[in-house]
Amino acid sequence: MPELPEVEIIRLGLQKYLVGRKIEDVEVRVPKIFVGDKKNVIGATITGLNRIGKGLIIELDNDFVLAVHLKMTGQLVYVDNKIKGPILSPKVGGEKLPSKYSHIIFTLDNNSFLYYNDLRRFGWIKVVRKDKLMQIPFFKELGPEPLKDLTLKKFKDIVLKSNLVIKVLLMDQKKIGGIGNIYANDALFEARIDPRRSAKQISPEEIERLYKAILKVLQKGLDYGGSSDENFVNALGQKGNYQKHTLVYGRAGETCPVCGGIIQKIKLGGRGTYFCSKCQH
C-alpha cells in the first residue's frame, strides 16, 4: 500500500501537471471505484492538490473536490503529448495506457489524461462537496501525521496510552496517520526497538528515539522517490527507489547491516514484520 512518502510523491508530481487542467470527461469502467456524480466535476478546472495521511485531494474551482484513496494497488498516472516517451513501469499493466487495470479515465483539456489504475480494485475516488470532505470517515478519524502535526509530545501521549504492540500501533491510522508496513519496520530498526514490545513498556527515551527514526525514514522515502516494492508508481508511471535502500523491510534471511545477525520475518497484526533480534530490544 502506498504510504505517506509515496502519496506525497504522487501529489507533488500531479500538482506539477494537473493544476490548470480542465476535466472534459470521466470514463468509469468499474463503477464501485467512483462514488458520486461525475457531472459535478466535468467542466471544472483543477486548482491544486492536497494530501491528508494516505489520502489525496484534487481541488476544483467549483464546490467539489475529488477525494482519492489508493488502498493496496491504486495508481494515478498522468499522460500528455508534451511528455516525451515516459518510461512506464510494468506495474501499470502495460507499456501504454490505458491498460487492463485502468478503471477510471479522466480526459483533460490540451489532449491530456489522468488514469486511475488498480490491480485489486480496493481503492476509491469520491466526488464530494468541499464542506463535506472531512466527514468522510477515513479523513475524519485520521490521527496526526509525521512531518505535519505529529509533535513529540503528541507521539509520547499516543504511545504511552496504548495497549497495542508498538508495530501495530504505528500502523493504526486512527492513532497516527500515514505510516504503513514499510516505514514502521524500518523506523523500529533505526530506533533499535523490538516490534513485538508493548507500547506502554517503551521508555520516554526510546519514544523520542523512535519519533526521530520515523521522521528520518519517511524523509529517506521521499528522497528516494518512494518505494516500488509492490505496485507504487509516481505521477508519470515510474518506479521509486526506496525499496533498494530499506533497512530491514523485505530483507528476511539477509545479514543485519549493524551487528551481522540474521534479519527475521514474523507476522504481527496480520502483516509481515522484519527485525533483528540482536539489535532490537
Q: Do residues 263 and 254 touch, judged by C-beta distance below 8 A?
A: yes
Distance between first and last Cα of the chain: 27
- Chain centroid to Cα 98, Å, comes to 22
Grid cell of 17 as nine digits: 501537471
The Cα 9–Cα 169 span in angstroms is 24
* Parallel, antiparallel or unpaired: strands 34-35 and 124-129: parallel
For the record, the C-alpha cell of 4 comes out as: 505517506
d(CA 169, CA 218): 17
* Catalytic positions: 2-3, 54, 271
